[in-house]
Every structure is written in C-alpha cells, then in structure tokens.
Amino acid sequence: MKTIKILRIQTLIICLLILFSSNAQTYKSNSWSANLYLGASNMMGDLGGSNFIGSRGVFDYDFRATRLAVGTGINMNTGAFSLGLNLLFTRLAGNDEYSAQDFQVDRNLCVRTDLFEASFLTEYRPFSRTKGFNRFYVYTGIGGIYYQPKTKLNDDWIKLRTLGTEGQYFDDGPGPYSELDVVIPYGLGYKFRLAKSTSLILDLGFRKTFTDYLDDVSTVYVDPVLLASSNGIESPILSNRSNTPKVIGDERGNPDKDDMYFLLGLKFEYILGGKAGDGCYYNRNPPKTRSTKINQRKMFTR
C-alpha cells in the first residue's frame, strides 16, 4: 500500500513538472514573486471535531480548535502557471471536550501539534484570458511535514511520540510512528490587486496526509501495566484519560482514516520582476500568433 502511494506521488510530481515546463517554454520571460502568509489552521483527526470518529474531511471541522498559521514563499510565474516553494508553521489542536459525541467526551483526550511544512506548489489560472476571472487560481503539489504531538499533564506539555501510548515500543508492537510525513496540498484562491507590483490573496488550502498520528490517536487501548513497564509511568496515564474503565483492545481511534488539516488565510504578494498585470503575470514577450504576423507584414509593406 505504501509503495502504491509513493508511486502515485512520483507520478503527480512528474505530471506537474511536465505541465509547467511545457508552458514555460512558450514564453520568453518569466516573473518572480514573494509572499508572506497569515492565516488559520484546523486539524481533522480523531480528537474533538464533529460527531464523527476519525477524520471526515471538512465535515469534521470544529471552530474552537482553530489556531494561527504563518508562512512565506516564492513563485516563478509564467503564463497561466506558476511554480512555488512555500514554508509554513502552525500549531494544530484537538480536544475531546469540544465533541458532541459521548464516546469522545468520555475518552477525554486532548493534543496540540506543532507542525512545520515545506511544499512545492503548481498554481493554474484556468481563466487567465477572461477579464474579471483571471485572478482566480487552483493549485496542487507535493510537500513534507515535521510534526510533534503533545498533551498537557500537571501544567507541562509532554511529547507523546516517545511514550508509545498505543504500545508502539512493545516487543511485538508496530514501532514508533515517524515525525516526518508526505502531504498532498491542494486548494484555490483569488488575487486582489493592490498596486502595480502588489496583491492581496485569499487562499483556501487542504492537506492530505499519510499518517493517522497527527493527534497521537489511531487504534486501540493496550495493557496499562505493560505500557508502564515498557515506556514509563506517564505513558498509561496519558494513553487512557477516560472517566470509565477500558478493556484491552477497546477502540481508541479510527485507523481507517488518515488525519488531515486545512488552512484559510491571506497572502501579501510582491512582484520581484515583470508586471503584476490584472492578477495574472502577463508576459512582456507573448508568443506571436498568425494574425499578429499578418499585421506586421502589412505594416512593412505600406
């Protein structure tokens, strides 16, 4: 399954590069832009959220778990496409206290996850030649994240990965989950031109991950005695904070759904070279069409 996912990701990267490369060759000059990002993030995982157990996309959204997100990026723009490198930091959150479902309220878990993201994105403006709509864009790409789930105990924030709260460090356990993961970013946005070289951008983005441990919750409850002897006394305390007794093997999370998160924010963009145009990056040397060549011949024959 992991191999199939990797192959799909590699195929996506190749397709995006081919699309961008073929478009870039059509134009003789490109423009560069830099941006600063300020927005909000929300995690859709096993904790808190709506009335679902496990992530159900945007339907698992809970406003109280919204946190700040900041970032920066640089883009090479050509024609209707642009290729960019972006960096982002956010602190995701999840809390069973926010849920309306009895199962989650009783489970009584909470988490905050510091997350760093680096991504390569390809933007496409499908209406680049239509005035009034040429500022709209969609995007996708490939990225990587480093994340660190923590929870609160006696006013201290404790790293959860090293505690193996679901038996990851048992002799026959699955092993610890990685702090690194691949993400597939996708989304859409709209550019509001402020001046010749500056724009304000409204951006909505989603991040598909390949881990179910952004919130450190995925499978079942394990033996607390074995957990304490294997990982220390804090591990069983933070693994099971329920108000009712749990049996080994009882459901703790939903391993069938990977976690995801989404972002909504504003970008301030500055054009480093070229002309901002009307939300698109008009090229100073557009390709000559047949009609253009005919008109040029007429001018020289007069």
Task: Give the separation between CA 3 and CA 20, rounded to whole angstroms.
Answer: 26
Q: Which residue has the higher pLDDT, 188 or 80?
A: 188
Q: Give the predicted TM-score (pTM) of the model.
A: 0.81
pLDDT average, residue stretch 256-271: 95
pLDDT above 50 for 142: yes
Question: What is the pLDDT averaged over residues 35-54?
Answer: 82
Positive or negative: CA dihedral 184, 239, 225, 164: positive
pLDDT digits (tens, 9 = 90+) for 65-91: 999 999 999 999 887 889 999 999 999
3-state secondary structure of 227: helix
Report whether pLDDT(184) > 60.
yes
The β-bridge relationship of strands 180-195 and 67-78 is unpaired
* Domain 2-149+174-216+257-301 part of CATH 2.40.160.20: yes
pLDDT of residue 201 exceeding 70: yes
For the chain, which residues make up each domain, given as ranges? 2-149+174-216+257-301
pLDDT at 282 over 50: no
